[in-house]
Structure 1
Amino acid sequence: MSTPLDLSVVVPLYNEEESLPYLVEQLTDALRPSGERFELVLVNDGSSDRTAEVLEQLSHNVPELVAVLLRKNYGQTAAMAAGFDVAQGDVIVSLDGDLQNDPADIPMLLAKLREGYDLVSGWRHQRQDAALQRKLPSRIANRLIGRVTGVKLHDYGCSLKAYRREVLSDMRLYGELHRFLPALAFIEGARITEVKVNHRARQFGTSKYGIDRTFRVLMDLLTVWFMKRFLTRPMYVFGFGGLIAMLGSLLASSYLLVVKLMGGDIGNRPLLTLAVVLGLAGIQLFCFGLLGELLIRTYHESQGRPIYRIRETLRGGRAV
């Protein structure tokens, strides 16, 4: 591209043929007057309706539109990752394609980001969704995620977010990790805040989320917790657990040895089985820790991934 872009708007799409033309119109209406050099990166995640056809038609009429057509339905996280990889803007904004996020809020997110933050997350403070099926589970999940990750946000599930490019370049997404982007960015040292944004009732189609998402979110939450605490030091968790298990095995074995020397029968004691199990488990956990340390070392060295991030360097009071 001949000139750099200020902004890339990434939108994952799945069966949004009805809302897509309105979405593109609202995005261009919100961004063209701002003077930003922008692009709209719309990712079709293997839709089964006419989303791909509508997207191709719009790409001929909207010069800012970049259509990304995935081969099949990979899920929202993969679609967002594809959009992030294609995006060329210095700032990247993500939002849903169902018109519930308001494109008119994007300039507000950009203004907040330029106050010195690395990530600005939207907060749907007047959410237009069913209270029992969507709002209550979301409220519980937000509190749980905030407690586990240490990043206190009111609305992790809001897709309307603004990022500095360098923040996203440090992260690799998989599973359902798109909703944990603030926590992943926090691990990398990002400065995070949130702003209240408008939320609208769904106009077309039905929600793509089901109850099965809860299980996937919980599993990914455990992954994020482990990454936050032990990403560069897996020996701390596995090795410590292994040492505790081996210590328990040693104490139980010592007691049984004393009983045996005093003429007692230990062959039928459950404690003997426990001692053996603890010993084997302790050795395995300790070995897991060593393997984890070797894998982390290989990961950082093979990818040239730094173990630190420099926000700014000053010399003589001036940034260099």
Structure 2
Amino acid sequence: MLQISVVIPVFNEEESLPELVAWINRVLKKQGFTYEVLLVDDGSTDGSWEVIRRLAAKDTVVKGIGFNRNYGKSAALDVGFSVATGEVVVTMDADMQDSPDEIADLYRMVKEEGYHLVSGWKKERHDPVTKTVPSRFFNAVTRIISGIKLHDFNCGLKAYQSKVVKNIHIYGEMHRYIPLIAKWHGYGKIGEKVVSHQPRKYGTTKFGIERFINGFLDLISVSFVNRYRKNPMHFFGTLGTLSFLTGFIITFKLVYAKIQGLRLGEPVREITDQPLFFLALVALIVGVQLFLTGFLAEMMTSNTSRRTDYTISEKINLGD
């Protein structure tokens, strides 16, 4: 078994790939590691795949996976994780802002200190304020919600025990929350290491301000899915029961008040003339619907498992 698998999602990074792979080779060969470099081309529209072909033809440690279209970073990581054979799996970005010089220390933290996952922390960033300020706010909120004391959830430079990446599944834009997903799968020993952040040398960033908006929506999604995916009735059933009981209590009070008024000979309004009746009716209907939603979700959970398939156009140095 190899010691290290380096998984690198690639999207339109043809200029940086030769230099990045040479840098990784130089560092890991000097350290005496056995390793592989997995380049996952996420539907690049430039010449990235041809560059990967040339690199793999020259060096068998370089392996390539090419998507037929752009699926996103999470998809690239998910497929890379599935084929990685190293004891420790290291992820990094292809833009050369993550330094391969950090890999050896990350490997030792996982192997010698027993961390399930070690995340990089770009303490000093070479990014504009429009990226750093929203990023700090995003990380602060994620720390509060997740309870994981990391400073930089979105850092691409991370190291994992092999069993961690083999037992988690990421999709959509959930790569930001791999530490949270790993924790909910029982891999709670999560460490952090300050890593160097290089100025971007080639190309431009592929992410805009919308990633922070999407990030918060994804945080809500991953929190809900991981907390209730095995027992959705606990969520929907609880809300449905509360809504139904609220409607029932209001209806009972209206009916009781009318009966009492008639018994005492007092003038009373028709129940259907009172706004509270319609509020109670809505609460009853919503309660039943939420309960049925939970019941159906419970049935689906017990009979199906979530799986996402990606269309891979070609593989290099990976056999069948």
Q: Paired residue for 1:279, among 236, 260, 284? A: 284
5 Å-filtered alignment, 1:111-190, equals 111-114=108-111, 115-131=113-129, 133-190=130-187
**AA paired with 2:17?**
L
| 1:240 corresponds to 2:201 | no
The structural deviation recorded for 1:63 is 2.2
* Residue pair 1:259, 1:265 contacting (<8 A) in 2 also: no
Provide TM-score, normalisation by structure 1: 0.89
The structural deviation recorded for 1:299 is 4.1
**1:72, 1:145 → 2: CA distance?**
30
Change in CA separation of 1:72 and 1:228 when aligned onto 2, cut-off 3 Å? closer
**1:84, 1:158 → 2: CA distance?**
17
Provide TM-score, normalisation by structure 2: 0.89
| 1:83 corresponds to 2:80 | yes
My pick for the range that moved more, 69-78 or 180-189, is: 69-78
5 Å-filtered alignment, 1:26-105, equals 26-105=23-102
* Residue pair 2:88, 2:110 contacting (<8 A) in 1 also: no
**1:222, 1:108 → 2: CA distance?**
33
My pick for the range that moved more, 54-63 or 240-249, is: 54-63
* Residue pair 2:135, 2:212 contacting (<8 A) in 1 also: no
My pick for the range that moved more, 31-40 or 152-161, is: 31-40
**AA paired with 2:145?**
V
Percent identity of paired positions between Structure 1 and Structure 2: 38
* Residue pair 2:98, 2:197 contacting (<8 A) in 1 also: yes
**AA paired with 1:104?**
D
| 1:269 corresponds to 2:274 | yes
Q: Paired residue for 2:210, among 200, 209, 212? A: 212
State the Cα deviation string for residues 61-104 of structure 1 (Å, max 9, x = none).
12210011111111111111121122111211100000000000
Match of 1:128, SS state, is coil
**1:129, 1:210 → 2: CA distance?**
13
Match of 2:272, SS state, is coil
**1:78, 1:179 → 2: CA distance?**
12
5 Å-filtered alignment, 1:4-43, equals 4-43=1-40
Structure 2 gaps of 5+ residues are 262-267, 308-320
- Report the aligned-residue RMSD: 1.6
**1:79, 1:37 → 2: CA distance?**
23
**1:231, 1:82 → 2: CA distance?**
23
**AA paired with 1:257?**
V
Structure number with larger C-alpha Rg: 2
**2:90, 2:282 → 1: CA distance?**
51
The structural deviation recorded for 1:259 is 3.2
**AA paired with 1:240?**
T
The structural deviation recorded for 1:289 is 1.9
Match of 1:202, SS state, is coil
**2:71, 2:180 → 1: CA distance?**
23
* Residue pair 1:246, 1:283 contacting (<8 A) in 2 also: yes
My pick for the range that moved more, 27-36 or 6-15, is: 27-36
State the Cα deviation string for residues 244-299 of structure 1 (Å, max 9, x = none).
10110011101111233223222232211111110011111112222232233334
**2:281, 2:86 → 1: CA distance?**
58
State the Cα deviation string for residues 103-160 of structure 1 (Å, max 9, x = none).
00000101111211110100001111112x1111110111111111221210001010
Change in CA separation of 1:74 and 1:228 when aligned onto 2, cut-off 3 Å? closer
Q: RCO higher in 1 or 2 (8 Å CA, sep ≥ 6)? A: 2
**1:228, 1:125 → 2: CA distance?**
29
Q: How many residues align?
A: 298
Where does residue 249 of structure 2 map in the other structure? 251
* Residue pair 2:131, 2:209 contacting (<8 A) in 1 also: no
My pick for the range that moved more, 179-188 or 75-84, is: 75-84
* Residue pair 1:19, 1:97 contacting (<8 A) in 2 also: yes
